[in-house]
Chain A
Amino acid sequence: MLVIEDLNVYYAKAHVLKNVSLRVSQGEFVSIIGPNGAGKTTLLRTISGLKDGQGRLSFNGAPLPRDPVKVVQLGVIHCPEGRHLFPEMSVKDNLLMGAFRLKNFDPESELEKIYQLFPILRERERQMARTLSGGEQQMLAIGRALMGRPELLLLDEPTLGLAPIVRKTIAEALKQINDSGVTILLAEQNVPFALAHAHRVYLLETGVIVKAGTPEEFRADEHVQQVYLGGV
């Protein structure tokens, strides 16, 4: 579905991604883990067209356009780090705005799907997005991305700053989303969260993919255990 080959990305003179290659197949749940500053966010921003990069990116066999609007049109939807909600709009309007790319859709049934996944959003329907708690905002950000009916959902650090109980809710939601047929590419620092429901995992360190494998292989790996799982 998504194929990236030899991707190089620079910020001014800083070489942020170095010959990154990865692939995500239809229906997969793939996680990219790695420390702060490894280039995870840059990778997702490059896929969604917010950042320019050199290399081959293709989606469903065709080159990926270098314009966020066109990328969204293909069904590649990015739920960004920092959420980027519309703070002065209601929860409902935020969700409806997520369906901007769709020509024909029934707003009520689409909203219903999101409210099934995150019931708290139904209660908050009329509240301004800025009045929500961090966890609720994250759920709204994921809900807004889902409203665009993604084929491939890009998620950037959805657990940043959230309590363990909320992380669990979100992990379960991601599993459900993936089970419903949406392909997921997750960038995440919290390794237990990233490994929980993923089929495959990449480890990105200072712009280089240093390891790829299944969650089981990652849990068994000494380097991953020492550095990312606190030796447990």
Chain B
Amino acid sequence: MDQVFVIVERIVIYSVLISALYALVALGFTMIFGVGRVLNLAHGAFLMVGAYTAWFAQQYLHWNLYSAFALAVALCTLLGVVFYQGLVRHVQRSPIVTLIATLACALIIEELIKIFFTTNTQLLAPFISGSIEIHKTTVITNRIIAFGASWLAILLFWLFVHRARWGKVILATAQDHEGAALVGIDVRRVYTLTWAISGALAGIAGVFFASWVKIDPFMWRDPLIISFAIVVVGGLGSLKGSIVAAYLIGLLEVLMTYSPSIRVCFSFRCFEFLGSSWVGVSSLLVLIAILFIKPEGLFGRTE
């Protein structure tokens, strides 16, 4: 019985931690979709730019991680604005062209990183090294920092959108861009602002994702798939839905990782093929299941 408790505790703690990071990873992607109906397939690449920036500043410029982090966020904010003004603004009218263009940009960023930094896996030093014990579960301290920072970013974002004047302007534009234009809102300026915020969020997420998982030129794929799944599962553009979806996907991933222990623990004899190698599939399984059961997403509305 004791062993069961330990496993359950571990699953709960780990999934609560990783899901917060996933929610943060998807936040900028959700916002861009919610406000401008644009699926930014370069979102994962934005995270990667943030991760490499922080790593580069730390490794070659010998900055401490806090300054490196600030540089990564600043650069990603700028990247978001440049990306919108230089590319998305011109192709936004056609969802297909936007998809292809943003995906192409993600691949270009991948190639550039391969050229400049090789395909080697890099490590980003954590904010705080070491680990702590929560009851009987060992948790890497840096992951708790990432958890706290993720929730802080989500809460600040929520407060901004619902309390600040420009936050409400973003909401209004998201709900009806023509209505927004007719009350005198400069819709392009709102889009530029959302891309800046989305870039900043990607920068924050990128640094934490890097220190949690790894840095390599292919690291943009997982965050993109996770973001995509979270946005669809949560209901297109819904912040609340995204958080619930992030927790659903995070929990399922941790369950996959621990499925061998769970089997031993409860003496199951089925699903013996499941294990940590199935982690990547879980978000997509949830995605497809939702498309069948509730295509508009958990908190979505049919449009």
Interface residues of A (CB under 8 A from B): 48, 50, 68-69, 72-73, 77-80, 83-89, 93, 97-98, 100-101, 144-145, 148
27 sampled A-B residue pairs with Cβ under 8 A: A48-B182, A50-B178, A50-B182, A68-B182, A68-B184, A69-B184, A69-B186, A72-B184, A79-B182, A80-B182, A83-B179, A84-B178, A84-B179, A84-B182, A85-B179, A86-B171, A86-B175, A87-B176, A88-B171, A89-B168, A93-B168, A97-B168, A97-B172, A97-B180, A100-B169, A100-B183, A101-B183
When C-beta atoms are compared, the residue in chain B nearest to A154 turns out to be B182
When C-beta atoms are compared, the residue in chain B nearest to A80 turns out to be B182
Interface residues of B (CB under 8 A from A): 168-169, 171-172, 175-176, 178-186
Told that A89-B175, A93-B168, A100-B169 touch, could you supply 4 new A-B pairs with CB distance under 8 A? A68-B184, A72-B183, A86-B180, A100-B184
The 4 closest A-B pairs by CB, nearest first: A84-B179, A72-B184, A101-B184, A86-B175
Choose among A50, A73, A83 the residue that contacts B181 (Cβ–Cβ < 8 A): A50
Q: Which residues of B contact A79 (CB under 8 A)?
A: 182
Complexed CA–CA distance, A101 and B181 (Å): 11
Tell which of A97, A144, A145 has the most Cβ of chain B within 10 Å.
A97
User: Are A86 and B182 in contact, with the CB atoms below 8 A?
Assistant: no
Count of inter-chain pairs, beta carbons less than 8 A: 60
Distance from B193 Cβ to chain A, minimum over Cβ atoms (Å): 15
Q: Which residues of A contact B185 (CB under 8 A)?
A: 69, 97, 100
Choose among A88, A98, A144 the residue that contacts B175 (Cβ–Cβ < 8 A): A88
When C-beta atoms are compared, the residue in chain A nearest to B185 turns out to be A100
Q: Which residues of B contact A85 (CB under 8 A)?
A: 176, 179
Q: Which residues of B contact A84 (CB under 8 A)?
A: 176, 178-179, 182
Complexed CA–CA distance, A98 and B181 (Å): 10
Complexed CA–CA distance, A124 and B233 (Å): 32
Choose among A72, A73, A87, A89 the residue that contacts B182 (Cβ–Cβ < 8 A): A72
Q: Which residues of B contact A72 (CB under 8 A)?
A: 182-184
B interface majority secondary structure: helix
Tell which of A68, A80, A101 has the most Cβ of chain B within 10 Å.
A68
Distance from A18 Cβ to chain B, minimum over Cβ atoms (Å): 25
When C-beta atoms are compared, the residue in chain B nearest to A70 turns out to be B184
Complexed CA–CA distance, A83 and B178 (Å): 10
User: Are B176 and A86 in contact, with the CB atoms below 8 A?
Assistant: yes
Q: Which residues of A contact B172 (CB under 8 A)?
A: 86, 89, 97
Complexed CA–CA distance, A100 and B172 (Å): 11
When C-beta atoms are compared, the residue in chain B nearest to A144 turns out to be B183
Complexed CA–CA distance, A98 and B169 (Å): 11
Complexed CA–CA distance, A80 and B169 (Å): 19
Tell which of A50, A72, A77, A148 has the most Cβ of chain B within 10 Å.
A72
Q: Which residues of A contact B171 (CB under 8 A)?
A: 86, 88-89
User: Are A98 and B176 in contact, with the CB atoms below 8 A?
Assistant: no
Distance from B15 Cβ to chain A, minimum over Cβ atoms (Å): 30
User: Are B168 and A69 in contact, with the CB atoms below 8 A?
Assistant: no
Tell which of A69, A73, A145 has the most Cβ of chain B within 10 Å.
A69
Q: Which residues of B contact A86 (CB under 8 A)?
A: 171-172, 175-176, 179-180
User: Are A148 and B175 in contact, with the CB atoms below 8 A?
Assistant: no
Q: Which residues of B contact A87 (CB under 8 A)?
A: 175-176
User: Are A97 and B181 in contact, with the CB atoms below 8 A?
Assistant: no
When C-beta atoms are compared, the residue in chain B nearest to A49 turns out to be B181
Q: Which residues of B contact A50 (CB under 8 A)?
A: 178, 181-182
Distance from B176 Cβ to chain A, minimum over Cβ atoms (Å): 5
When C-beta atoms are compared, the residue in chain A nearest to B171 turns out to be A89
Known contacts A86-B171, A89-B171, A93-B168; is-contact A69 B176 (Cβ 8 Å): no
Q: Which residues of A contact B175 (CB under 8 A)?
A: 86-89
Distance from A72 Cβ to chain B, minimum over Cβ atoms (Å): 4
When C-beta atoms are compared, the residue in chain B nearest to A73 turns out to be B184
Tell which of B169, B179, B183, B186 has the most Cβ of chain A within 10 Å.
B183
Choose among B168, B169, B176, B181 the residue that contacts A68 (Cβ–Cβ < 8 A): B181
